[in-house]
């Protein structure tokens, strides 16, 4: 009887130990964006595994697809996507999404350009009057182009003709002469420059003419998952924060990971502009972030004003 009791106890200990050692499973949505690089690095370098987290990654084609997966409980966390999508979700389902690891452009980090064809005679912004300007599809990017034009003294409705094309077709459309200038972001700008299709008319227009810094997006976690498994969220953040440190200290090696998760060729991945990401203990300009939210509301992209500070994940869940 003692032997049986001892065996049961031993088996119980083995079972409990195996349960304790079993890694927590977290579903993460990834998009083919350079802005998701810290998550790519955390996967490739095993930083999630170091935290005892097993990642099931879902590859999404764009921000909307990733956000819908989060709201439908198909994933628990999404790597950085644009604020426009996240803010729209907050209006529709207040409190369902919490933000962490915001990122964007600054006076030192170039993420947007106004390009012209390599053989274009244009030399100044003023010469764009009466011309065609292209950008990629989407209401948010269209708004940013219009805001830029207003700031440089051009009426976006009277002075220019705006043409939108699919993201992957931007360089091709510029080269074909469908428009005279292209208002675009990374990595599309680097693709056009590296293929010798374009040259730069204005560097960093979103930062110089709209808001500086231009914090364009963030990673997010569902409030449901946060309530159910706050320890896993903290582990995810620690892994991503370590990955961000790796990106900063080993940028070339980190860039080599991009072709595994994005359509970028290795040569483009090494040159494309990266975002500036902010960890929880790093200062960030909340006024600049809120200004982007307010611009989206004032110009009809959002149906209500959203206070981004209320969407940020409390530091206690990250440290």
Domain residues of the chain, as ranges? 2-106+213-317, 112-209
pLDDT at 19: 46
Asked whether residue 273 carries a pLDDT value surpassing 90, the answer given is yes
Q: What is the 3-class SS of 82-108, one letter each residue?
A: EHHHHHHHHHHCCCCEEEEEEEEECCC
Cis check: omega of the bond before 96, within 30 degrees of 0: no
The whole-number pLDDT of residue 11 equals 47
For residues 306 and 303, what is the distance between their CA atoms, to the nearest angstrom? Answer: 9
- Residues 6-26 have a mean pLDDT of 57
Hey, do 2-106+213-317 and 112-209 end up sharing a CATH topology, with the first three levels equal?
Answer: yes
**Annotation: CATH topology of 112-209:** D-Maltodextrin-Binding Protein; domain 2 (3.40.190)
Q: For 29-48, what is the mean pLDDT?
A: 97
Residue 203's SS3 state is strand
Residue (of 77, 86, 95, 90) closest to 36 by Cα position: 77
pLDDT tens, residue by residue, 200-221: 999 999 999 999 999 999 999 9
pLDDT at 16: 47
Cβ 285 vs Cβ 270: under 8 Å: no
pTM confidence score: 0.87
Query: With contact defined as beta carbons under 8 Å apart, do 184 and 170 qualify?
Result: yes
The average pLDDT across 285-312 equals: 94
pLDDT for the residue numbered 2: 54
pLDDT tens for residues 207-263?
999 999 999 999 999 999 999 999 999 999 999 999 999 999 999 999 999 999 999
Beta-carbon count within 10 A of 252 CB: 8
Whether the pLDDT of residue 145 is over 70: the answer is yes
Confidence band (pLDDT; 50, 70, 90) for 319?
Answer: confident
For the stretch 90-133, pLDDT in tens is: 999 999 999 999 999 999 999 999 999 999 999 999 999 999 99
CA–CA dist 219, 103 (Å, integer): 9
Whether pLDDT at 55 is above 90:
yes
Query: Looking at domain 2-106+213-317, which CATH architecture does it have?
Result: 3-Layer(aba) Sandwich (3.40)
Average predicted confidence (pLDDT) for the chain: 92
Q: Is the pLDDT of residue 293 over 80?
A: yes
Q: For residue 256, with 0-12 CB atoms within 10 Å meaning exposed, 13-18 middle and 19 or more buried, which class applies?
A: middle
Query: Can you tell me the distance from the alpha carbon of 15 to that of 255, in angstroms, rounded to the nearest whole number?
Result: 42
């Amino acid at each position: 009887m003692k032997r049986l009791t001892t065996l049961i106890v031993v088996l119980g200990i083995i079972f409990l130990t195996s349960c304790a050692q079993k890694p927590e499973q977290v579903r993460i949505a990834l998009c083919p964006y350079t802005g998701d690089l810290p998550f790519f690095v955390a996967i490739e370098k095993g930083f999630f595994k170091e935290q005892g987290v097993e990642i099931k990654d879902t590859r999404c084609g764009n921000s909307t697809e990733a956000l819908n997966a989060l709201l439908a409980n198909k994933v628990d966390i999404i790597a950085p996507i644009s604020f426009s999508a996240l803010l729209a979700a907050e209006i529709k389902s207040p409190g369902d999404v919490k933000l962490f690891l915001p990122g964007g452009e600054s006076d030192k980090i170039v993420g947007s350009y106004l390009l012209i064809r390599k053989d274009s005679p244009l030399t100044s912004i003023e010469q764009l009057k009466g011309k065609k300007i292209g950008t990629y599809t989407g209401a948010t990017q269209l708004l940013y182009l219009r805001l830029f034009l207003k700031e440089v003294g051009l009426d976006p409705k009277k002075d220019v003709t705006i043409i939108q094309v699919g993201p992957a077709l931007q360089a091709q459309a510029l080269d074909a002469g469908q428009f005279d200038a292209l208002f675009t972001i990374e990595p599309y700008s680097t693709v056009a420059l590296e293929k010798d299709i374009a040259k730069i008319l204005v560097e960093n227009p979103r930062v110089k003419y709209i808001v500086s810094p231009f914090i364009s997006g963030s990673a997010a976690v569902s409030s449901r998952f946060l309530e159910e498994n706050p320890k896993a969220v903290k582990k995810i953040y620690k892994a991503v924060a370590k990955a961000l440190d790796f990106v900063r200290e080993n940028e070339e090696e980190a860039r080599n990971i991009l072709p595994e998760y994005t359509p970028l060729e290795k040569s483009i991945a090494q040159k494309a502009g990266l975002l500036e990401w902010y960890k929880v203990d790093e200062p960030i300009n909340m006024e600049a972030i809120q200004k982007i939210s307010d611009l989206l509301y004032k110009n009809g992209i959002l149906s209500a004003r959203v206070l981004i500070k209320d969407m940020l994940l409390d530091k206690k869940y990250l440290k």
